[in-house]
C-alpha cells in the first residue's frame, strides 16, 4: 500500500515527564491539532521533533520516549540544545516567523542560525529518506522546514512531495530583504505541490518566484527547467464534528459530572441574568494582537460603563517560544495590561479580565467555547486561525458572535463575523458593543451560515483536496516527461 509520510518540526505529541515516567500529551498549535485528526488515514509515519532536548535525557530515557512515539506512528528526530536554540528559536522563530508576519523590525539576519537551520532541515530530510519505500509520497509542513522538499527531491527524484505553509507568505518587497531568499525558494520548489491557506499568499509566492528566478507561471503551474510544480490555496479546516459533538455532550452532562471550570462558569451566569463572557484564546504570540485586544476591551469599558460588572474577558494564553526575547517582552506587557485593567475597573466582586497563562485540556476548551457569548480574535497577522473555526463548531444552539481581524486568513471564509482592523482600538471597542447587543435572531442567522461553511470544508475535505492535487501534480509531471 502506498503511504503518505508527514514531516513537520513538531510532532503531534509532546513528552510529559511525570513521577510515574513519561507519557504523551497533545501538542498545541494549528498544524498539530489539525493534522492529528487525519495522519493515520495515510498509513505513513510522522517525522519531527518531540519537543525535548536530547542532552536532558539518558539513552534509556530517549529509548522510552521513542517507544511511546512509535506506538503513534511517530518517528522522533532528536535535537540538541544548540540546535533548538539556533534552528528553532533562532532562524525559524527569530527570522522567518517575524518576517513572514510582517514584523520586519523583529527579524534577525544571522549567518550562524542559517547554517544550523540548513543542518536540521537536512537531518529531517535524511530521517524521512531512510523510511521511504517505492510509491510513497511525502507531505512536508511549515516554515521550519522550507528546505526539506528540495533535500528529498535531489536524492529521490521520483518521490512525490507536497509542501504546505501554515503561516502567511509575505509580499516580495518584504521577502526580498532575506539574504537567503533564493535558497529558501529553491527548497520549496523541490515539492511537486506547494499549498497555502489563501490566494493572497499564493499570489505573493508566484511573484517572488517570477522575480527571483524568472520562471514562467501559467494556471497555477510553475515551469522549472525539467519540472512542473503546482501551487494552490487550500484553506485549512478543523475536525468540525469532534468539536460539535463534544459541545453537545457537555450540555447534556448532569451538573455533578461537569468539570470545576464548567461549574464555576454556570455559577457566574447565575449571579445575574445579564452577565456576559468574551473569549480570547491563543498561543502567547506577538502576531496575535493580544495587547491591542486588551486595550480595546479597556476602551469599551471606559466608553460603555453600563457594561462594567457585567462583562468579563476570559483570556487564555498558551506559553509559547518562551526563550525568544520578543515573547518574553510580550508576556511582561500582557501581565501589566491585565493588571492595570483589573486595577482600574475591577472590584471585590468583579474581575474584568480572567487571565490563564497555560494550556487547557480539550474538555475545558469546549466548555469555554460553548459558554462564551463572544469570541474576540484580533491577530495583527495570522496564516489562518483555527480558533475562530473551533468556536463556530462548538456553538450548538447557534448563538454567539465572532469579532475577527481582517488580517487572519480565516477572515476570507467568515464574512458573517464582525470584521475589524486590529490596529483600530476604537473600532474594536465599538464592535464589542455591537456583538453584545446583537439580537439573538441575527446571531443565529450569521452563525448558521458560518457553521454550514466550516462544516462543509472541514479538515478531512482539506486534506483530501490537498492529496488529490498532489496526485494531479504527479500526473502532470509524468505527462510532461513523456512528451
Partner that binds at residue 390, options ligand F6P, ligand ADP, none, CB closer than 5 to 8 Å by kind: ligand ADP
CB of 437 to ligand ADP, least distance (A): 27
CB of 1 to ligand F6P, least distance (A): 28
Partner that binds at residue 10, options ligand ADP, ligand F6P, none, CB closer than 5 to 8 Å by kind: ligand F6P
CB of 331 to ligand F6P, least distance (A): 15
Residues that bind ligand F6P (CB under 6 A): 10, 29-32, 142, 166-167, 283, 320-321
Q: Which residue is at the shortest CB distance from ligand F6P?
A: 29
CA distance 401 to 396: 13
Partner that binds at residue 142, options ligand ADP, ligand F6P, none, CB closer than 5 to 8 Å by kind: ligand F6P
In whole angstroms, how far apart are CA 88 and each of 11, 74, 82, 277? 14, 19, 10, 36
CA distance 474 to 193: 9
Nine-digit cell at 294? Answer: 486588551
Partner that binds at residue 314, options ligand F6P, ligand ADP, none, CB closer than 5 to 8 Å by kind: none
CB of 282 to ligand ADP, least distance (A): 6
Tally: H helices and E strands in the chain: 18, 17
Partner that binds at residue 321, options ligand F6P, ligand ADP, none, CB closer than 5 to 8 Å by kind: ligand F6P
Residues that bind ligand ADP (CB under 6 A): 28-30, 33, 281-283, 316, 318, 359-360, 365, 384-387, 390
Shorter beta-carbon distance to ligand F6P: residue 239 or 425: 239
Shorter beta-carbon distance to ligand F6P: residue 166 or 244: 166
Q: Which helix (H) or strand (E) holds 59?
A: helix 59-70
For 135, left (φ over 0), alpha (ψ -120 to 50), or beta?
Answer: left
Q: CB within 8 A of 63, min separation 6: which ones? A: none
The 3-state secondary structure of 357-382 reads CCCCCHHHHHHHHHHCCEEEECCCCE
CB of 201 to ligand F6P, least distance (A): 13
CA distance 328 to 106: 13
Partner that binds at residue 365, options ligand F6P, ligand ADP, none, CB closer than 5 to 8 Å by kind: ligand ADP
Shorter beta-carbon distance to ligand F6P: residue 138 or 432: 138
CA distance 163 to 146: 8
Q: How, if at all, do strands 160-164 and 193-196 pair?
A: parallel
Amino acid at each position: 500500500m502506498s503511504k503518505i509520510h508527514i514531516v513537520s518540526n513538531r510532532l503531534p505529541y509532546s513528552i510529559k515527564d511525570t513521577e510515574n515516567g513519561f507519557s504523551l500529551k497533545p501538542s498545541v498549535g494549528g498544524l498539530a491539532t489539525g493534522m492529528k485528526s487525519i495522519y493515520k488515514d495515510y498509513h505513513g509515519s510522522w517525522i519531527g521533533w518531540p519537543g525535548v532536548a536530547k542532552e536532558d535525557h539518558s539513552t534509556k530515557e530517549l529509548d522510552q520516549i521513542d517507544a511511546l512515539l512509535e506506538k503513534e506512528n511517530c518517528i522522533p528526530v532528536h535535537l540538541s540544545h544548540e540546535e533548538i536554540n539556533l534552528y528553532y528559536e533562532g532562524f525559524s522563530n527569530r527570522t522567518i516567523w517575524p518576517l513572514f508576519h510582517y514584523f520586519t523590525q523583529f527579524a534577525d539576519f544571522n549567518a550562524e542560525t542559517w547554517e544550523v537551520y540548513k543542518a536540521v532541515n537536512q537531518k529531517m530530510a535524511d530521517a524521512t529518506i531512510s523510511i521511504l519505500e517505492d510509491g510513497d509520497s511525502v507531505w512536508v509542513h511549515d516554515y521550519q522546514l522550507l528546505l526539506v522538499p528540495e533535500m528529498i527531491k535531489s536524492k529521490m527524484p521520483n518521490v512525490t512531495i507536497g509542501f504546505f505553509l501554515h503561516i502567511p507568505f509575505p509580499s516580495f518587497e518584504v521577502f526580498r530583504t532575506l539574504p537567503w531568499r533564493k535558497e529558501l525558494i529553491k527548497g520549496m520548489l523541490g515539492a511537486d505541490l506547494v499549498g497555502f491557506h489563501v490566494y493572497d499568499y499564493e499570489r505573493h509566492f508566484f511573484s517572488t518566484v517570477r522575480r527571483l528566478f524568472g520562471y514562467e507561471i501559467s494556471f497555477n503551474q510553475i515551469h522549472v527547467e525539467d519540472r512542473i510544480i503546482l501551487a494552490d490555496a487550500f484553506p485549512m479546516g478543523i475536525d468540525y464534528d469532534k468539536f460539535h459533538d463534544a459541545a453537545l455532550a457537555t450540555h447534556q452532562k448532569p451538573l455533578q459530572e461537569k468539570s470545576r471550570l464548567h461549574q464555576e462558569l454556570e455559577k457566574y451566569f447565575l449571579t445575574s441574568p445579564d452577565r456576559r463572557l468574551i473569549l480570547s484564546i491563543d498561543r502567547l504570540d506577538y502576531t496575535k494582537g493580544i495587547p491591542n485586544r486588551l486595550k480595546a476591551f479597556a476602551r469599551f469599558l471606559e466608553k460603555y460603563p453600563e457594561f462594567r460588572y457585567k462583562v468579563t474577558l476570559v483570556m487564555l494564553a498558551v506559553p509559547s517560544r518562551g526563550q525568544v526575547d520578543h515573547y518574553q517582552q510580550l508576556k511582561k506587557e500582557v501581565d501589566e495590561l491585565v493588571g492595570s485593567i483589573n486595577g482600574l475597573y475591577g472590584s471585590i466582586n468583579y474581575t474584568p479580565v480572567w487571565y490563564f497563562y497555560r494550556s487547557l485540556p480539550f474538555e475545558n476548551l469546549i466548555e469555554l467555547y460553548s459558554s462564551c457569548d463572544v469570541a474576540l480574535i484580533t491577530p495583527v497577522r495570522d496564516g489562518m486561525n483555527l480558533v475562530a473555526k473551533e468556536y463556530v463548531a462548538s456553538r450548538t444552539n447557534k448563538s454567539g458572535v465572532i469579532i475577527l481581524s481582517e488580517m487572519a486568513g480565516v477572515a476570507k471564509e467568515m464574512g458573517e463575523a464582525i470584521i475589524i482592523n486590529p490596529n483600530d482600538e476604537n473600532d474594536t471597542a465599538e464592535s464589542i458593543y455591537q456583538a453584545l447587543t446583537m439580537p439573538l435572531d441575527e446571531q443565529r442567522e450569521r452563525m448558521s451560515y458560518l457553521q454550514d461553511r466550516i462544516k462543509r470544508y472541514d479538515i478531512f475535505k482539506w486534506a483530501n483536496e490537498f492529496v488529490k492535487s498532489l496526485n494531479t501534480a504527479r500526473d502532470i509531471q509524468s505527462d510532461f516527461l513523456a512528451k
